[in-house]
Amino acid sequence: MFGFSRTGAADLIAAGDVLLDGRQAMKSDRVTAGAELSVVLPPPPGAEPAVIAEPVPGMGIVYEDDDIVVVDKPRGVAAHPTPGWTGPTVIGGLLGAGHRVATSGAAERQGIVHRLDANTTGVMVVAKSEPAYSALKQAFRDRTVSKTYHALIQGHPDPLRGTIDAPIGRHPSGDGRFAVVADGRPSVTHYDTLEAFRAASLVSVGLETGRTHQIRVHMAALRHPCCGDLLYGADPVLAAHLGLTRQWLHAVRLSFEHPATGREVTFESPYPDDLAHALEVLATES
């Protein structure tokens, strides 16, 4: 149907880029009449962005062994190269600093098993060995990885804790944003208010799914966008008052079974300076 060889199609399925009726497809699945087949197509030959191997200032190493490396990703750093992105990347930073990464996956995102938005900071794991890559990819597909984010959102959500179950797809405008749309992919976000300020709330967020911009889209859909997230309707006046030039969203904690030992491991990341400053401003006004 798409002009791939059997091997090419199998690689797409193994990478988790094929959905059959909304779930991860298996190579043995049969497609029946009326079924919905969703395939993330790879870029055409020659269009793959190159990995620039050079150290990334401010990207700390939280933990490293023979199988994984856990980084504390700073703002302005993408997980891997993408068309149109000319800034630094996690994969390029690791290679530039002499770290080994798994060779599985597409050339421009080898070792990458999950992603954070370029301007979302926090803890992120990268596979170094091939077995670790396979095990971690499967763990993320099976949703056995626990990801905890903190977000500073405008206003006060009602109720103070809850679940957002709303499908996400590309925004109809085609401008690169995502949105809650009827034909989007299933997306589930849990949130719990940690602290309420006069103009904003600090919430803890857990994800059942990992859609692009998921937290930002779901919070905006509740009319409580992340502070500083002008792309999704945040108040620019409040953003300037808090000194924010990006969304207040941070991956604070990541827990998973170590792919080699099988034991549960947890890694954490403190707030970076710009996010901590915004909280200080709010605290002085409460």
**Residue 276 — very low, low, confident or very high, per pLDDT cuts 50/70/90?**
very high
Instruction: List the structure tokens of 188.
Output: 């589930």
117 flagged as catalytic = yes
132 against 103, higher pLDDT: 132
Q: Is the pLDDT of residue 43 over 70?
A: no
Q: Which residue intervals of the chain bear CATH 3.30.2350.10?
A: 51-142, 148-250+276-285
20 against 150, higher pLDDT: 150
Quote the CA–CA distance of 134 and 158 in Å, as a whole number. Answer: 40
Give every strand in the sheet of 23-24, ordered side by side: 23-24, 18-20, 37-39
Residue 99 has pLDDT above 60, yes or no: yes
Distance CA(165)–CA(180), nearest Å, equals 10
Checking if the pLDDT of 97 tops 70, the result is yes
Q: How confident is the model at residue 1 (pLDDT cuts 50, 70, 90)?
A: low
Over residues 46-65, the pLDDT tens digits come to 556 778 889 999 999 999 99
181-205: per-residue pLDDT in tens? 998 999 999 999 999 999 999 999 9
Q: pLDDT value at position 108?
A: 72
Lowest average pLDDT, out of 38-42, 121-125, 168-172, goes to 38-42
- pTM comes to 0.82
- Was domain 148-250+276-285 assigned CATH 3.30.2350.10? yes
Least confident of 1-10, 26-35, 104-113: 1-10
Tell the residue number behind the tokens 């600090």, with chain if given: 202
From 72, 117, 229, 235, active-site residue: 117
3-state secondary structure the chain: CCCCCHHHHHHHHHCCCEEECCEECCCCCCCCCCCCEEECCCCCCCCCCCCCCCCCCCCEEEEECCCEEEEEECCCCECCCCCCCCCCEHHHHHHHCCCCCCCCCCHHHCCECCCCCCCCEEEEEEECCHHHHHHHHHHHHCCCCEEEEEEEEECCCCCCEEEEECCEEECCCCCCCEEECCCCECCEEEEEEEEECCCEEEEEEEECCCCCCHHHHHHHHCCCCECCCHHHCCCHHHHHHHCCCCCCEEEEEEEEECCCCCCEEEEECCCCHHHHHHHHHHHHHC
- 240-253 pLDDT per residue, tens: 999 999 999 999 99
Task: Judge contact between 56 and 96, C-beta under 8 A.
Answer: yes
- The CATH number of 51-142, from 3.40.30.10, 3.30.2350.10, 1.20.120.430, 3.40.50.2000, is 3.30.2350.10
pLDDT digits (tens, 9 = 90+) for 209-223: 889 999 999 999 999
Token digits of residue 123:
């803890």
Strand partners, 89: 78
